[in-house]
Amino acid sequence: MISVYNSQKDLPIRKDCAKVLVDAVLSFLNIPFEEIAIYFVTEKKICELHDEFFQDPSSTDCISFPLDEKHLGEIFVCPKVAIQYAEKRGIDPYRETALYVIHGILHLIGYDDLEKKAKEAMRKKEKSCMRHLDRLKIALK
C-alpha cells in the first residue's frame, strides 16, 4: 500500500500521480514492500522535523524514516524547497520534487550520502530511476 498525504499548497500534487511514481520506482528497484508513506509538507513542517530529529532547524528537501522490510517507512518531502531550487536553476519543480521522492526511497532501502563514494552511488541510482520514469512518462503532474 502506498499512502500519500499532502498538507502543503506550494506545488499542486496529485496523489494518484505520486502513487504511480512511487510504485514505478520501487518496481524498477525490485523492492518488495507492503507499505510506504509519502508526506508532502510545508517548509515550516520540514524545518520542525529537521530540528526535532537532526537538531538542525534549517529547511531541507526530504527526510526519511525507515521502518522495516515490509513497512519501508515514511518520507517527508518539501515541494517549496524544490520550487526554490528549480527557480534558481531554471528547471521543473515537479521534476525536482520527484527526485526528492526518489532520494527518500533510496534512503529507506539503505543508500546514504554522507561519504563521497556512497553519495556518488546514490546519485547514480537517482539518475537511473529518473531515466526510468522518463521512459515511462511518469511525473508528479
> Is residue 38 in some structural domain?
yes
CATH of the domain at 26: 3.40.390.30
CA distance 27 to 33: 10
Residue 133 has pLDDT above 90, yes or no: yes
- Taking only the tens place, the pLDDT of each residue in 26-53 is 999 999 889 999 999 999 999 999 999 9
* Residue 9 burial by Cβ neighbours in a 10 Å radius (0-12, 13-18, 19+): exposed
**What's the confidence (pLDDT) of residue 52?**
96
Average pLDDT score over the chain: 95
Count of structural domains, the chain:
1
- Taking only the tens place, the pLDDT of each residue in 78-112 is 999 999 999 999 999 999 999 999 999 999 999 99
> Is residue 109 in some structural domain?
yes
**What's the confidence (pLDDT) of residue 125?**
96
> Is residue 13 in some structural domain?
yes
**What's the confidence (pLDDT) of residue 141?**
85
**What's the confidence (pLDDT) of residue 99?**
97
The answer, as to whether pTM is greater than 0.75, is yes
> pLDDT grade, residue 70 (50/70/90)?
confident
**What's the confidence (pLDDT) of residue 58?**
94
Residues of the domain holding 126: 2-136
> Is residue 69 in some structural domain?
yes
CA distance 75 to 62: 7
Among 33, 100, 113, CA closest to 66 = 33
60 and 44 in contact (C-beta within 8 Å)?
no
> Is residue 141 in some structural domain?
no
